[in-house]
Amino acid sequence: MEKHSSASALIDRCRPERPVRGLRPHAAGRAARWFLDNFPGDVAYAYKANSSVFLIGALYGAGIRHFDVASLPEIEDAATIPDAHLHFMHPVKSRHAIRRAYDLGVRSYSLDSEDELKKIVEATGGARDLILWVRIAVPAINSRIPLERKFGTFGVEAADLLVKTRQVAAEIGLTFHVGSQTSTPDAYVTALGEVHRIIVKSGVMIDRLDIGGGFPSRYPDSDPAPLRDFIDVISAGIEALPVKENIKLMCEPGRALVSEAESLIVRVDARRGKNLYINDGSYGMLFDAAHLNFIFPMKLVSRSVDPGDSLVPFELWGPTCDSIDHMKGPFMLPDSIAEGDYIEIGNMGAYARAIAGRFNGYGEYDEVILLDPPMLSMYGEEAIDVAAARRS
């Protein structure tokens, strides 16, 4: 794969017809090292966020060996990774998927109902070497994408399910998810309080605790608390739980590990007032911008910008014939932007690649490696210095 010092260097060399994915594996590696240095347990990458072999390779090279997988295709892909520990954390699975996962060496499964517990036991032939995680529902606090409505049990039902799970598994744990892009650590305080209540109600001593994902990335409209604050709050909450001193902890970061590790470089095909028509959109990698109102960092990369060229708000329209292919923004770009210019859209590494489709014949991308830093980062030099001090 071609390497370029920046997106601007790429455009200086050629003016690509297709949109370009600009990968920064070094950014994924840096994020992984931060989590491995700072989280007091296993770091399981949420595979669904981005399965690029270059980014997976960077995470692996940094030391990631645990992977949160949520489907059989993800398991079959990740099972090829040497020494990988796979955790099938989707709470609703088909019997075929459970059997196939077990055959591929997966021993870790989540569930949130008695029916799912029975299904896992039967599909694995009553295997006694399972790690089973009871997923509980917790409130979404300051999260961009709440997740508690679809999965999770709570209260007396959760306690009863934990008791039943204890009877059939080699190890049991509790797991939760506070919601994607959680900007403050408050949600973990509430979630760990619910964990405390369920443990007390059930009278069951758990072997493991998975605090899920939710760790944030930076965007122009979201400047979350430092990741160190999240780790401190989580560590304090776990200290207060009625659990064994040697309980095994796990987290499932996805966005926080790979958001900074990929950009999208697009061409402006037309300008109409403050509306820019570009060659990728909501049916491609900009789904979150269209449907979840994410504001991604952007910059003009096809030419130098005059210091007097003020930044103004634009709306974006994708290349398909569909009128919902629209990203409202506002996206701040130079007022002089015109047809033929190229824009780099940063911090696109989480979910954009995975969601992109082929509607209307679009969906083909070129790919390059970019060597410069990401446009926005949660991992400044101060965070790196703190981690290094802990290692020394």
pLDDT value, residue 32 = 98
Q: What is the mean pLDDT of each run of 10 residues along the chain (392 residues)?
A: 97 97 98 98 98 98 98 98 98 98 98 98 97 94 77 95 97 95 94 96 96 96 95 96 92 98 98 98 98 97 93 98 96 98 98 96 97 95 50 46
Smallest CA-to-CA distance from 316 within 297, 335, 331 is with 331
Residue 265 has φ and ψ, to the nearest 5°, of: -115, 120
pLDDT value, residue 242 = 92
Domains of the chain, first to last? 3-22+262-370 (2.40.37.10), 26-258 (3.20.20.10)
pLDDT value, residue 389 = 52
Strands 342-345 vs 262-272: parallel, antiparallel or unpaired: antiparallel
The residues, any chain, with a CB within 8 Å of residue 59's CB and separated by 6 or more, are 28, 29, 32, 45, 257, 258
For 222, the 3-state DSSP assignment is strand
Bridge partners, residue 262, by sequence: 23
Distances 181 to 31, 76, 146, 205, 313 between C-alpha atoms, Å: 15, 28, 9, 31, 24
Q: pLDDT (tens digit, 9 = 90+) per residue, 338-388? A: 999 999 999 999 999 999 999 999 999 999 999 999 999 999 764 445 444
Smallest CA-to-CA distance from 132 within 191, 74, 208, 200 is with 208
- Helical pair 227-239 and 25-38, crossing angle rounded to 10 deg: 30
**Dihedral, CA of residue 143, residue 145, residue 146 and residue 147, to nearest 10:** -130
pLDDT value, residue 191 = 95
Q: pLDDT (tens digit, 9 = 90+) per residue, 310-335? A: 999 999 999 999 999 999 999 999 99
Residue 128 has φ and ψ, to the nearest 5°, of: -105, 10
Can you list the pairs that 303-306 forms with residues at least 24 positions away whose Cβ atoms lie under 8 Å?
303/341, 305/334, 305/336, 306/334, 306/336
Sign of CA dihedral 5, 8, 9, 13: positive
Count of all residues that appear for the chain in the document? 392
